[in-house]
Each structure stands twice: as structure tokens, then as C-alpha cells.
Amino acid sequence: MKTTFASIVAVAAVATSASADLVCGWTITTAFPTGAGNVPTGVTYGVGAGDQGALTAGSSLTSVHALAAATYTSPAGNGSQYAFSSNNWSTGDYYQASFATTGYDTISLSWDQARSSTGPASFELVMSLDGGTNWTTILASYTVLQSGGGGAPGTWSSTTYNALYTSTTSLAGAENASSVIVRFRSLATAAATGSSRIDNVFINGNLVPAPGAVALLGLAGLVGRRRR
């Protein structure tokens, strides 16, 4: 069978559309400050821009709490060296990921999350596309599993990944957006003494071909038909 330029381009296009690209991700690569007087506390703390992906500029991952006594640490992640952990949870406290999806469609979100025995077990996932003015509910409620201790299905380790702690969901409406905010918001009513940790937060999508590439694909198909 004769291989044409058109067939090569077409196969490449199908292969590209079949696999998602990493838009932005956080694996928590740096330990938080430790020692007396150095541990971060207060109503908010962040790890900054994503450490992986094509669109990390301007992105951020933060934790926001009502209580100034909240403390932020970096214990073992789920198969990675560190996680983003905080305590002193009140109803409505949240982890927040901010990012862009410019040039991408079919957006999805995956993340790992765990809690201590007294940490908040119930969360919701909400999304804003206008800087936080309006919010869309992605998941009305989801359960966070305990890590370690009695009844826990596993214990987070920096060397061993446990898929039981990973959640994935579509972010419908977040395609080709200059600003997307997602919040993992606590629904617990009493979890002040417990902690929750998050890790491996990944935004995935399919790169949309540039108009010139689409035109080239059409031209290649035309040339291929004429050669038959």
C-alpha cells in the first residue's frame, strides 16, 4: 500500500486527539518550612505555580481557612515526596487551584486527597470562570478517605502510590479559558483538630490544532485524493 503525505498527517492527527496533554500540575516538590517559629500558619498559604505542564505561568495552589490557627505542613505525598497539608478546618475552608486552559479542550481534573482520623471527610468541588464571582458545582459531595490509623485503606507513602486516594472528574465549560478556579471545599461541621492533605493535582486537556494546521490537514487530504 502506498503511503502518502495525507495519510501520515491524518494518522498523526488521530494520535494527538486520542491522548490528553498535561495543562498544569502540582506534585509539591519543595518541603515547607519547619522548626519553632518557622512553620507556616494563618488563614492562607500557597505553593505557587504548577511544577508540571504547558501552562504553569500564573497558576497557583493555595489553602484558605477561617481560623488563623491553621498550620501548613508537607508530609509524605501519595507516591511523591511531599503533599500539601493543613489543619484547623471549618465549614467552607478550601484548597484552591487557579490556572488557564487557553488552547485546550476536553478539560479534566485529577487529584489525590487524604485526611487524618479527625480531619474533614466530606468535600464539594466547585469551579469559577470569572475570577470567583460565580460558581458552578462540579461535585456536590465527595468523601475523603483516611490515611493511616484504624480503618484506613492505606497510608500515604513517598515511595508507594495508592490509587484508592485518586479522584478524576470532567471540568465541562473550562475549555479554552484564560482563568479557571477550582475549589475543594470542606463540608464538615467539626474538624478543627484534624488535617487534610492534597497531592498530584493535574489539569489535563486536548491541545486544539492551530487554524493553519487544520488547513494543512485539509490540503493534504485533497492532495491525497488527487493522487489516487
Are the CB atoms for 142 and 167 separated by under 8 Å? yes
Give the pLDDT of residue 174.
98
What pLDDT sits at residue 222?
A: 47
- In the prediction, which pLDDT does 227 show? 52
Residue 39: what are its φ and ψ, rounded to 5°?
-65, 130
The per-residue pLDDT for 14 is 37
Q: What is the pLDDT of residue 101?
A: 98
Domain ranges of the chain: 21-209
CA-based end-to-end distance of the chain = 12
Q: What is the pTM of this model?
A: 0.85
Question: What are the two backbone dihedrals, phi and then psi, of residue 212, each rounded to the nearest 5 degrees?
Answer: -65, -35
Tens-binned pLDDT, residue by residue, of the chain (228 aa): 444 333 333 333 333 344 689 999 999 999 999 999 999 999 999 999 999 999 999 999 999 999 999 999 999 999 999 999 999 999 999 999 999 999 999 999 999 999 999 999 999 999 999 999 999 999 999 999 999 998 899 999 999 999 999 999 999 999 999 999 999 999 987 666 799 999 999 999 999 987 654 444 454 454 455 555
Residue 210's pLDDT is what? 75
CB 116 within 8 A of CB 89: no
Instruction: Pick one of 3.30.1460, 3.40.50, 3.30.70, 2.60.120 as the CATH number of 21-209.
Output: 2.60.120
- From CA 93, how far away is CA 187, in angstroms rounded? 8
Task: Please give the pLDDT value at position 192.
Answer: 66
Q: What is the reported pLDDT for 188?
A: 85
Nearest CA to 164 among 149, 194, 144?
144
Residue type at 72 in one-letter notation: Y
Per-residue pLDDT, 193 = 76
